[in-house]
Structure 1
Amino acid sequence: MKIGLLFSGQGAQQAGMGSDLYEALPEYKSTIDRASKVLGYDLSELTKDADKIAQTQYAQPAILSMSNAIINALGNALPQPIAALGLSLGEYSALTAAGAMNFEQAVAIIKDRGRYMQTVGDENPGKMAAIMGENQQLIENVLAKLQVEGKRVYPANYNTFAQLVIGGIAADVDDAVVALTDAGIKRTIDLPVSGAFHTPLLKDAAVQLSERLEKEAFSDLNYPVYSNTTSEPFVIASLHETLTKQIVSPTYFAQAMQKMLDAGVDTLIEVGPSDTLIKFAKKIAPKDVNRYAIKDLESFNQVKELLTAEEV
């Protein structure tokens, strides 16, 4: 079994996430409690608050903590992965699991990252929409034309080879949706987000994060973690630069997953509050690649049993 770990990104959060895991698994509970000490509030209680968990500043540390708590609870049942990939925020979860930073360090960084993005997003409100269609060059061309006209709308997330999320000023995103429909795009979906993440609208958050990361030291990775920004494995020497660019650059999740699959991954396991990345994987990975998601106690026990049986 050649495992590629997937780590959920922002948007996967939901009220009550991880509550059953917290009650049943001592190592999961211990990890969440460690996060609470860094954050200065009871994370296990906060995740039950639907209003707070929807906010960037709370969602980001909650998802990172849950994802790493699942990995810690699996313990020796999880074989050494051959690679990992997270979506945006999920990259920090992946880097932590792979040893680039320790857990408390990651929680502290993400506490600040979430706050930067919340504040800047509130000051620069934007909109995002998912554009469905395999001709992503067409989408890029339409956006490029609108940018020449002064519109602030950009490619933001290459989630699959047939789903590209765009983001920018709300009115400009609406104009882009009209232009894309006129150009032949059949399906678009407005996304329930408060900011235009991974676009230049978040540049002030990127500046703040860059200054924040200057004081951090990172360790060598135990296995490759693929970057959404470059579609290549992270290089520790340039980690600061890559994570800073990530705030304002498109995520190339589909391209990064393809390269991870090309490296030999035959089993994908997503950890976090949802199975969104596994759904993306169904559009990217061959059918013979096994796909699992651990998002609650039931799925945790099922996957752990599979992993243990594989060892035997």
Structure 2
Amino acid sequence: MGLAIIFSGQGNQHKQMFARFQSELDLSLIKTVEKNISCQLLPEITLDDNDFFSNQYAQPIISSYEYILWQTICDKLPEPVAVAGYSLGEITAIAAAINLELNELLNLTKTRASFMATSKPSGLMAVSGIRSNEIDLILAKHNCYLAIKTSEQSFIIGGYSEGLLQLEAELKSLPGMLSIHSLKVSVAAHTPLLTDKVAPFASIFNNYSHKLLNLRVVSGTNAAVQYSTSAAINAACSQLAQTINFDRVVNVLVELGATTILEIGPGKAIQNIVHKLNPRIKIRSIEDFRSLSEVVEWVSKMEETNSY
């Protein structure tokens, strides 16, 4: 068996995230997060919806949630063949691979969010039911960009509001059963609209480039396997302004020997994407389980099953 870890991104966070596994978590780590972002996390996150889904709070909260879960179970799991992340999750993946301190990760994600906050307001839209070669021709007409590709017919599109509205109107006029819906974000990450944020963020993230990369990281933009910390960091910074080819990331994890994938983060978005891409992969979201001990038991069971 080969285990891979994928840390999820934004959009599926919920206010009872930390309460779910509260009895198994190090409460001192939760206190560290609460102090850093001036917000109570237990018994539920005390933010209104606007703040909760804003980058300012969402990015440090989600990444710290993933980090704390990983730190709680990593010593009880077999060493992963590689780690990866979906959008924001790639930052957590690197943090796990180089053993960042929690405060370092919090400050890093807060910095990433602050850079994104200085961008001109824009948005993201999920589109499925059209092939990539067909949508590419339409995007250019409306100054929109492919932000994330999850399959040959499923995408996240980024752009300014006017362009996205025009794009949506044209897509709805096409024959076929297209699915189109706007996402709860105000920044078109993973598009050229954030090109000017890459270098400033890289200059800060590279303060940790001296740390040893203990796990292989598969980058989102080109699905390259990174064997050095500086390469992993620079790739993660570049994805602020470049398309994430998540379908290729999953394929590379399989090529590296992954037969089982554990999604760490809020929600089950990655689990659903991977099921559609490759039904043979055994994947579960950590939030499928009632306890972290059940997570460890499931991974152990998959290891035994695949050893025969």
1:62 offset after TM fit, Å? 0.8
Per-residue deviation, residues 211-261 of structure 1 (Å, max 9, x unmatched): 323533342322211111121123423344323211111111111111111
Question: Residues 206, 311 of structure 1: CA spacing in aligned structure 2 closer, same or farther, 3 A cutoff?
Answer: closer
Amino acid at match of 2:252: K
Alignment TM-score, normalising by the size of structure 2 = 0.88
- Contact 1:17 1:48 (C-alpha < 8 Å) held by counterparts: no
Matches within 5 A, 1:191-206: 191-206=183-198
Distance 1:310 1:223 in 2: 21
Unaligned runs of 5+ in 1: none
1:173 offset after TM fit, Å? 1.1
- Contact 2:53 2:185 (C-alpha < 8 Å) held by counterparts: no
Distance 2:212 2:56 in 1: 28
1:185 offset after TM fit, Å? 5.5
Amino acid at match of 1:219: K
- Contact 1:16 1:48 (C-alpha < 8 Å) held by counterparts: no
1:201 offset after TM fit, Å? 2.3
Question: Residues 111, 309 of structure 1: CA spacing in aligned structure 2 closer, same or farther, 3 A cutoff?
Answer: same
Amino acid at match of 1:49: L
Which residue does 1:83 correspond to in 2?
A: 82
Which residue does 1:276 correspond to in 2?
A: 269
Amino acid at match of 1:163: S
Any idea what SS the aligned residue of 2:262 has?
strand
Distance 2:82 2:13 in 1: 24
* 2:215 pairs with 1:219: no
Any idea what SS the aligned residue of 1:91 has?
helix
- Contact 2:209 2:233 (C-alpha < 8 Å) held by counterparts: no
Which residue does 1:127 correspond to in 2?
A: 123
Distance 2:155 2:302 in 1: 36
Amino acid at match of 1:8: S
Matches within 5 A, 1:118-157: 119-121=117-119, 124-133=120-129, 135-144=131-140, 146=141, 151-157=142-148
Distance 1:299 1:137 in 2: 43
Which residue does 1:166 correspond to in 2?
A: 157
Which residue does 2:41 correspond to in 1?
A: 44
- Report how many residues are paired: 300
Question: Residues 299, 133 of structure 1: CA spacing in aligned structure 2 closer, same or farther, 3 A cutoff?
Answer: farther
Amino acid at match of 1:180: L
Amino acid at match of 2:271: I
Per-residue deviation, residues 119-152 of structure 1 (Å, max 9, x unmatched): 224xx111221111251111112213x1xxxx42
1:192 offset after TM fit, Å? 2.5
Question: Residues 242, 182 of structure 1: CA spacing in aligned structure 2 closer, same or farther, 3 A cutoff?
Answer: same
- Contact 2:146 2:191 (C-alpha < 8 Å) held by counterparts: yes
* 2:168 pairs with 1:177: yes
1:40 offset after TM fit, Å? 5.0
Distance 1:155 1:216 in 2: 30
1:170 offset after TM fit, Å? 0.9
Q: Which moved more, 1:156-165 or 1:229-238?
A: 229-238
Distance 2:189 2:129 in 1: 21
Distance 1:217 1:36 in 2: 27
1:104 offset after TM fit, Å? 2.9
1:26 offset after TM fit, Å? 3.8
- Contact 2:94 2:217 (C-alpha < 8 Å) held by counterparts: yes
Question: Residues 31, 310 of structure 1: CA spacing in aligned structure 2 closer, same or farther, 3 A cutoff?
Answer: farther
Any idea what SS the aligned residue of 1:98 has?
helix
Which residue does 1:13 correspond to in 2?
A: 13
- Contact 1:7 1:67 (C-alpha < 8 Å) held by counterparts: yes
Per-residue deviation, residues 284-308 of structure 1 (Å, max 9, x unmatched): 12x3321111137615343222235
- Contact 2:145 2:157 (C-alpha < 8 Å) held by counterparts: yes
Unaligned runs of 5+ in 2: none
Matches within 5 A, 1:285-296: 285=278, 287-295=279-287
Distance 1:134 1:267 in 2: 29
Amino acid at match of 1:167: G
Distance 2:170 2:266 in 1: 35
Q: Which moved more, 1:79-88 or 1:13-22?
A: 13-22
Which residue does 1:265 correspond to in 2?
A: 258
Amino acid at match of 2:14: Q
Question: Residues 240, 300 of structure 1: CA spacing in aligned structure 2 closer, same or farther, 3 A cutoff?
Answer: closer
Question: Residues 248, 71 of structure 1: CA spacing in aligned structure 2 closer, same or farther, 3 A cutoff?
Answer: same
Distance 2:192 2:4 in 1: 31
